[in-house]
Amino acid sequence: MAKAKRARAHVARLDLTPAQAAVLDGHAHIARALWNLLHEYFTFRQGRFPSPKECDAAIRQARHEIDWMGQLPAQAAQAVLKTYRQAWENFFNPGHPAKRPTFKSRLRSRMAVDVPQARDLQISRINRRWGAVNLPKIGRVKFRWTKDLPGLTKGGPPGRITGARLVKQAHG
């Protein structure tokens, strides 16, 4: 019998400098704009939905032609595509309550950026209360170490870290 994949979330508050916070805000806005471009690409195309290969080619072309789009890490752009395609799959699944994907508003959408590859993170513990993580195109960021992380702490939970989602919340 195959072992089921268990997803666990760990929430940690990042200790960002104002410059790092500005760059992350920019990445989140670019990810939202990319979602909207993908939605336009899917919606106004006649006939069928584009394949993942066609979408990937369109994202690569947009990253080369639109200079501010290139500021978002390529892996984060691919994660936006994956999330967008999953939103459509959930919509077409009759057993899933998901609504049709729509454009994301600048004011009402949750600002978030994905870091899907754990090798880019390089998490280390500084002391008992603080840890540090490397974020692509941001640099080294301290975070509050509140509980053991899988694969990093001796005697901690089994498993490994596969990626991260950075979400901006009202309290930081």
pLDDT computed for residue 151 by the predictor = 76
Same domain, 28 and 59: yes
Q: What residue numbers bound the domain in which 91 lies?
A: 19-109
Same domain, 94 and 131: no
Torsion of CA 57, 62, 67, 71, to 10 degrees: -60
Is 98 a member of any domain?
yes
pLDDT at 7 over 80: no
Same domain, 80 and 31: yes
Among candidate residues 109, 132, 147, the one where a domain is terminated: 109
Same domain, 65 and 140: no
Name the β-bridge partners of 143: 14, 131
Same domain, 101 and 121: no
For residues 64 and 91, give the distance between their C-alpha atoms in angstroms, rounded to a whole number. Answer: 31
- In tens, the pLDDT along 125-140 reads 899 899 999 998 899 9
Q: Which pTM was predicted? A: 0.85
Is 127 a member of any domain?
yes
- In tens, the pLDDT along 90-118 reads 999 999 999 989 999 988 888 888 888 87
Q: Which two tokens stand for residue 36?
A: 């909207």
Among candidate residues 78, 93, 109, the one where a domain is terminated: 109
Same domain, 91 and 43: yes
Is residue 34 within 8 Å of residue 72, measured between CB atoms?
A: yes
pLDDT confidence bin for 1, thresholds 50/70/90: low
Outline where DSSP puts E strands in the chain.
14-15, 112-115, 124-125, 130-135, 139-144, 164-167
pLDDT computed for residue 28 by the predictor = 93
Same domain, 23 and 83: yes
pLDDT computed for residue 136 by the predictor = 87
Same domain, 38 and 79: yes
The average pLDDT across 63-78 equals 90
Q: Which two tokens stand for residue 114?
A: 């994905």
- In tens, the pLDDT along 155-170 reads 777 778 888 888 888 7
Instruction: Compute CA distances 131 → 1, 23, 74, 124, 163, whole Å.
Output: 37, 21, 26, 6, 16
pLDDT at 18 over 80: yes
